[in-house]
Amino acid sequence: MKSRSSWIVAQSAAVISAVVSLQCIAADRADVVYLNGKVVTVDSHFQIVQAFATAADRIIAIGSNATLRKLAGPDTRVVDLGGRTVLPGFIDTHPHTINGHARQQELSKVSLYGVSSVAEVIERIRKAAQSAAPGAWIVTTDIGAPPDFFNLPASLAEKRWPTRGDLDQAAPNNPVYINNSTKQPYPSVFNSTALRLLGVTRDFVNEERVHVETDAAGEPNGLIYGLDLYSHDSPLRGKLLSMLPRVSPQVRQEVIKLAIQDNNAVGVTALYEAHGSQPIQVQYLQAVRAAGDLKDRFVVAYEIPAREPLAQIERWMSEHPESAGAGQGDDFLRVRGVTVSMDGATQMGASLMNKPYLDIYGRVGNGASVVSEEKVAQIAGLAVKHDLQLNVQAAGDQAIDMAVRALQSVDRQTPIGQRGWVIEHVQHPSRENIAALKKLGMAATTYSSVDFSKGAQVYVDRFPGQDVWKTVVPLRWWFDGGVTVAQSTDGAHYEPMFTIWQSLVRMDGGTGKSLLTPAKTISREESIRMYTINGARVMGYEDRIGSIEPGKYADFVVLDHDILKVSVAEIRATKVVLTAIAGKIVYGSLP
C-alpha cells in the first residue's frame, strides 16, 4: 500500500498534468494574443510580463512575447500593445453608481453645475420655468463644480448664495428648490412659493439639525440649512420629500446606463454596491441588462431597515432569500448579503466620535449612531441565522469601537471568520480596531480621497486641539495589520487614476497642501492592489477577477502611461486607452 506522502505526490502530479493539459487545449483556441506590453498581473508575486492571451471571455496564458506568439493560430487576432501598461480592471467597492451618481442629478433636475454667478442661477431657472407647468416644482442640482463643490458661495461672482428674491424673479409661478446639501453642509434654497407650501414663515421654530435663515426684517430669506439625509427625523424634510416629483424608472435606468459608460471610460469594470441599495435598484439593473447595456459587473447588498424593531428586521431578512448564502445571480449581476449603517459623514457632523468636535453650525457634539451596539450585535446574530453576508458601515472611532465589540460578541457564539463580512467607510479606526477586525476575518472598504474633498476644513478646523487629520483613513495601518482593504469612491471622484494619485499624495483639494502622514503612506503597488485584487476579495470574486491570470475573466485596462514609473503627479493625468470586460472591448481601441 502506498504511503500517504507518496499518494499526495502522485495526486499533485496528476493535478499539475491535468492543468497543463487544459492550458494547452485552451491555448489551441486562443482568440486574441496581446504582445509588446507591460502587463501588470497583480498576482501573488505582482509579476510583470510582456504578453497575454484570451479565448472567449477568459485569460488563457501570460508570459513572454516569444511564448505567446506560439499561441497565435490562423484565426487568432494579434494585438500590439506598443509598450503600453495593462492592468486588471478596476473595482470600486463603494461607488453609489446605482443610487447617487451625478448623472441622476443632471437628467432628472435643472442643472446648476458649473454656474459661476447668482445671475446665471437665475437665468437657468428662468429658462426652466418657461416650459414648466404652472405650480410644478422646479428642482435643481447642487450649485457649482461636482463632485466637491469647493469654495461656495465665495466662488460665485456676487460672493453670496441666491435668495428667495432671486428665485422669485426667475420663477414667480412655480415652487423652486435648489438641492444644495448633498456633498457639503451648504444651504438648500427656496423661493416664496416653495416656502409657503412648506409652511415656513417668520414663526418657524428651528429643528435640531434644520435651521431657517432670516433677513433683517425677520422673514425667511430662502436659505435653509440641514435638509440633508442625516436629518431623517426632520418633519420639514419629510414634508418636502412628500411634495417633490418622483424620478421615473426610465430616467433611473438611463442614469445607470450612462454611469456605466462613465465607468468604462476610466477603466472601472466591477462594483460592490453595499450601501443604501434596495431591491428596486436591482430591478433597474436587470432592465439595463435586458437592454444590453450592463457593461460592468455588480454585486449588490440590500440596506437593512435598521431603525425598525428587531422582529421587523428579521421578517425583512426572511423576505429576501435571494441575498442569502452565495446570493442569486451570475458573475455580471448578483444579489448577496445585507448592510447595517451606523453613523454618517464627518463633514455633516454625523460621524460618532469618542471626543467632541464641531458640527455644521459650530456647535460642540460627537455625532450619533442610528443603532446601538446591542442592536448591531442582534442584527449580526440574525445575519448568521439567515446565512447573510453582513456589511457594517461605521465612520467615527466610537462607531467603529461599537461595531468591533458587537461583532466580537457574535463571533464568540458563532465564528464569523469565514463568512466574508465587510466593514465600510471606517475613516477613523485605531490600530486596535484593525487588529480585532483581522482576528474576526473582516475585510474593509474605505475612501482615501476624503482628504481631498473634506481636507483641513473638516479634519483640522472642526477638531480643534486634536490630531485627527493625521490618521484619517490610515491605509498604512490596514496593510501592516494584514487586513484586506479595498478602495472606493463613495459617489465622488469615480476615476481610478485620480483616486490612485490621491491615495499616494493625500492632498487637501481646497488648499493644495499635503495631508500625508506615516499612517497614510502606501506604495504604488499597494494602491493598485486596493483597486483590483482586494476589491475582488471583497466581492467574493478573487478566483474570477482582480488579476491577470490564466482561468480568470479577461477584465483588463490599457493605460497611456506606466503608473509604476511616471512621476506621481503624472498618474492623475494618465488616461485609459482601452477597457475590456470578459474579453470584449467596452471602451476605446488600440491602433
Q: pLDDT tens-digit profile of 484-505?
A: 999 999 989 999 999 999 999 9
Distance between CA atoms of residues 138 and 125, nearest Å: 8
Report CA-CA distances (Å) from 404 to 374, 376, 377: 12, 10, 9
With beta carbons less than 8 A apart as the criterion, state whether 342 and 352 touch: yes
Find the mean pLDDT for residues 288-309: 97
CA–CA separation, 38 and 42 (whole Å)? 12
pLDDT one-digit tens code per residue, 337-375: 999 999 999 999 999 999 999 998 999 999 999 999 999
Neighbours of 83 (CB within 10 A): 10
Mean pLDDT computed over every residue of the chain? 93
What number is the average pLDDT over the span 187-193? 97
Q: Hey, which bits of 395-527 come out as E strands?
A: 422-425, 443-446, 485-487
Average pLDDT over residues 511-522: 97
Work out the percent of the chain whose per-residue pLDDT is above 70: 94
Cis-peptide into 134, omega within 30 deg: no
Residue 24: pLDDT band (50, 70, 90) is very low
Domains 4-86 and 102-243 belong to one CATH topology: no
As a whole-number percent, the residues of the chain with pLDDT over 90 amount to: 88
Give residue 104's pLDDT. 61
What confidence tier does 23 reach under pLDDT thresholds 50, 70, 90?
Answer: very low
If you average pLDDT over residues 47-63, what whole number do you get? 98
CA distance 92 to 493: 11
pLDDT at residue 182 in the model: 76
Q: Put the strands of the sheet holding 188-190 in their side by side order.
A: 138-140, 176-178, 188-190, 220-225, 211-214
List pLDDT tens digits, range 536-570. 999 999 999 999 999 999 999 999 999 999 999 99
Q: Is the pLDDT of residue 26 over 70?
A: no
pLDDT at 197: 98
Q: Does 10 have pLDDT greater than 70?
A: no
DSSP states of 54-73: EETTEEEEEE-HHHHHTT--
Q: Which three cell numbers stand for residue 200?
A: 415656513
Task: Please provide the size of the chain in residues.
Answer: 591
pTM > 0.85: yes
- When pLDDT is averaged across residues 385-405 and rounded to a whole number, the result is 98
- Whether the pLDDT of residue 27 is over 50: the answer is no
Which CATH topology does 102-243 take? Diaminopimelate Epimerase; Chain A, domain 1 (3.10.310)
For the stretch 76-114, pLDDT in tens is: 999 999 999 999 999 999 999 887 656 666 677 899 999
Quick check: 20 pLDDT over 60? no
- Give the CA dihedral 383, 385, 388, 393, nearest 10 degrees: 10
Question: How far apart are the C-alpha atoms of 211 and 515, rounded to whole Å?
Answer: 32
Q: Which distant-in-sequence residues (6+ apart) come within 8 Å of 12 by Cβ?
A: none
Q: What is the pLDDT of residue 100?
A: 64
40 C-beta neighbours (distance < 10 Å), count: 24
Lookup: cell for 255? 442614469
What is residue 19's predicted lDDT score, i.e. its pLDDT? 38
Residue 247 has pLDDT above 90, yes or no: no
Q: What secondary structure does DSSP assign to 9-70, as a single string?
A: HHHHHHHHHHHHHHHHHHHTT-SEEEES-EEE--STT--EESEEEEETTEEEEEE-HHHHHT
CA 562 to chain CA centroid, nearest Å: 25
Domain boundary assignment for the chain:
4-86, 102-243, 304-543
**Is the Cβ–Cβ distance between 504 and 568 less than 8 Å?**
yes
Architecture of domain 304-543: Alpha-Beta Barrel (3.20)
- Residue 287's pLDDT is 97
Instruction: Give buried/exposed letters for 487-521 (b at 16+ CB in 10 A, else e).
Output: bbbbbbbbbbbbbbbbbbbbbbbbeeeebeeebbe
Has residue 11 got a pLDDT over 50? no
Cell of 301: 447588498
Average pLDDT over residues 134-160: 94
* CB of 34 closer than 8 Å to CB of 53: yes
- What's domain 4-86's architecture? Roll (2.30)
**Cβ-Cβ contacts under 8 Å for 589 (sequence gap 6 or more):** 577, 578
Measured distance CA(23)–CA(21) in Å, rounded: 5
- DSSP state, 552? S
- Which three three-digit cell numbers place residue 375? 442592536
